[in-house]
Chains A and B, each alone.
Chain A
Amino acid sequence: TPLDPASSLPQSFLLKCLEQVRKIQGDGAALQEKLCATYKLCHPEELVLLRHSLGIPWAPLSSCPSQALQLTGCLSQLHSGLFLYQGLLQALEGISPELGPTLDTLQLDIADFATTIWQQMEDLGMAPALQPTQGAMPAFTSAFQRRAGGVLVASHLQRFLELAYRVLRHLAQS
């Protein structure tokens, strides 16, 4: 049975998480804007075929819906998702000189957020014994694929963050 989620999570943790999500959303939007302005790659819907061929994985948050929130599962999925996006963004490295700093900031902020989640899981005794290991990442074999991959990863990430934000806000307000 799901724990009473709100009570076991410190308010400062939740407020920090909300702040970190907003920061990452801002970083992600900056990446999307630059990809659009520089390469006219503005709409992930135009890259569906490419997405299938690249096999970009999704990060589920199925344990997080507010009606039946399973705290351990939700935090674990949140961390795994962040860990996945760290890997995907790493795979995009060398995307282009103009986007390098924006990508670095995004990676640093995601890594920070993942650490915040992981350490809270440890504090609550929920953390698995071992840190997750990165699975196979898509191979972006051309500059275009890295840029298009950037558009796809950024849009996935924004959706993932939107979900995470709703969950965290729900927890912070309950």
Chain B
Amino acid sequence: ECGHVSVSAPIVHLGDPITASCIIKQNCSHLDLEPQILWRLGAELQPGGRQQRLSDGTQQSTITLPHLNHTRAFLSCCLNWGNSLQILDQVELRAGYPPAIPRNLSCLMNLTTSSLICQWEPGPETHLPTSFTLKSFKSRGNCQTQGDSILDCVPEDGQSHCSIPRRHLLLYQNMGIWVQAENALGTSMSPQLCLQPMDVVKLEPPMLRTMDPSPEAAPPQAGCLQLCWEPWQPALHINQKCELRHKPQSGEASWALVGPLPLEALRYELCGLLPATAYTLQIRCIRWPLPGHWSNWSPSLELRTTER
């Protein structure tokens, strides 16, 4: 090995100086006695190398790049040999920023996958390989005291969400959760959340249906609609309240809200509507009286009121 490059730090803050040194051994054959060492950053030669001959005969050149403004570049130690530039060694330089504090950490308990899904905003680009880890622990009180740690949740590359599986969760106990971001230039941590997984449950809405025509049932009155809804099965064990919204399909009317409504209705008559009008209806539910998040609105159901 003829030449060897070493650097003060292969990764620096963007714009910071970086110092490198290249040593060319005396026994590197075919060379002049005192070869002139050249530096190349990317494809550009860099002036300012300070060369000296060491006691053991090796040649050493040191260069300081005052501001490394490339997020990624290769610094080569070269010399002229005959009429050609010869590269003897090369080092990869990286520059970027330490991770910002991850923001807006939030979590939802998903009953379909039985997992706690947390997401966050990673913050500005660091230009460096940056790892995010969702950390959490069980807690007796309100997360001031740390109980058993829960296995770190490592998101897939580039993702800003992670799922903690059911087997690591105590659904009805507090847990402290935060995100840690780390790269070569530093570590940062989001503010800590303290929550019980079931208190951030987000349900799926019930399924709205039209009433099957039945001889026993009276037909809907004018300006009324008859409908029913079936609860979302994985949440049957959860007390919920629901609300319905409706609006005429045509025109600019805004949604009208009806609620609170029960989780399940085998038959529901909605009145006070315009006769002979097509309506769009949606329903959503929330865990209640215990805390939770509103489900999304259900897919729309389109019904038409009868003539007067």
A residues touching B (Cβ–Cβ < 8 Å)?
A: 12, 15-16, 18-20, 22-23, 25-26, 104-105, 108-109, 111-113, 115-116, 119, 122
User: Is the pair B239, A116 in contact by a Cβ cutoff of 8 Å?
Assistant: no
Hey, which chain B residues are within 8 Å of A15, CB to CB? 239, 289-290
B291 (CB) vs chain A CBs: closest residue = A12
Given contacts A115-B173, A116-B173, contact A22 B236 (CB under 8 A): yes
Of B64-72, B163-171, B177-185, which binds chain A? B163-171
User: Is the pair B290, A12 in contact by a Cβ cutoff of 8 Å?
Assistant: yes
The one of A26, A108, A113 in contact with B166, judged by C-beta atoms closer than 8 angstroms, is A108
User: Is the pair B114, A105 in contact by a Cβ cutoff of 8 Å?
Assistant: yes
B residues touching A (Cβ–Cβ < 8 Å)?
A: 114, 140, 166-167, 170-173, 198, 236-239, 289-290
A22 vs B236: C-alpha distance when bound (angstroms): 8
A12 vs B170: C-alpha distance when bound (angstroms): 16
Some 16 contacts from A to B, beta carbons below 8 A apart, are A16-B198, A16-B290, A19-B237, A19-B238, A19-B239, A22-B236, A26-B236, A26-B237, A104-B167, A105-B114, A108-B166, A108-B167, A109-B171, A112-B170, A112-B172, A122-B140
Q: How far is the CB of B167 from chain A (nearest CB, A)?
A: 6
13 extra interface residue pairs, beta carbon distance < 8 Å, beyond A15-B239, A19-B239, A115-B170: A15-B289, A15-B290, A19-B198, A19-B237, A19-B290, A20-B172, A25-B237, A26-B237, A105-B166, A112-B170, A112-B173, A113-B172, A116-B173
A15 vs B196: C-alpha distance when bound (angstroms): 14
The one of A12, A108, A119 in contact with B173, judged by C-beta atoms closer than 8 angstroms, is A119
Q: How far is the CB of B175 from chain A (nearest CB, A)?
A: 12
A25, A111, A119 interface centre (most CB from chain B within 10 Å): A119
A116 vs B1: C-alpha distance when bound (angstroms): 67
User: Is the pair A119, B140 in contact by a Cβ cutoff of 8 Å?
Assistant: yes
A113 vs B167: C-alpha distance when bound (angstroms): 14
Q: How far is the CB of B140 from chain A (nearest CB, A)?
A: 7
The one of B140, B167, B237, B290 in contact with A23, judged by C-beta atoms closer than 8 angstroms, is B237
A122 vs B236: C-alpha distance when bound (angstroms): 30
A20 vs B196: C-alpha distance when bound (angstroms): 14
B167 (CB) vs chain A CBs: closest residue = A108
Hey, which chain A residues are within 8 Å of B172, CB to CB? 16, 20, 112-113, 115-116
A25, A104, A111, A116 interface centre (most CB from chain B within 10 Å): A116
Hey, which chain B residues are within 8 Å of A108, CB to CB? 166-167
A105 vs B167: C-alpha distance when bound (angstroms): 8
A14 vs B210: C-alpha distance when bound (angstroms): 36
A18 vs B287: C-alpha distance when bound (angstroms): 13
Hey, which chain A residues are within 8 Å of B166, CB to CB? 105, 108
Q: How far is the CB of B185 from chain A (nearest CB, A)?
A: 40
A48 vs B113: C-alpha distance when bound (angstroms): 37
Hey, which chain B residues are within 8 Å of A22, CB to CB? 236-238
Hey, which chain B residues are within 8 Å of A105, CB to CB? 114, 166
Hey, which chain A residues are within 8 Å of B237, CB to CB? 19, 22-23, 25-26
Q: How far is the CB of A123 from chain B (nearest CB, A)?
A: 9
A18, A19, A111 interface centre (most CB from chain B within 10 Å): A19
Q: How far is the CB of B204 from chain A (nearest CB, A)?
A: 16
Q: How far is the CB of B271 from chain A (nearest CB, A)?
A: 33
A104 vs B169: C-alpha distance when bound (angstroms): 13
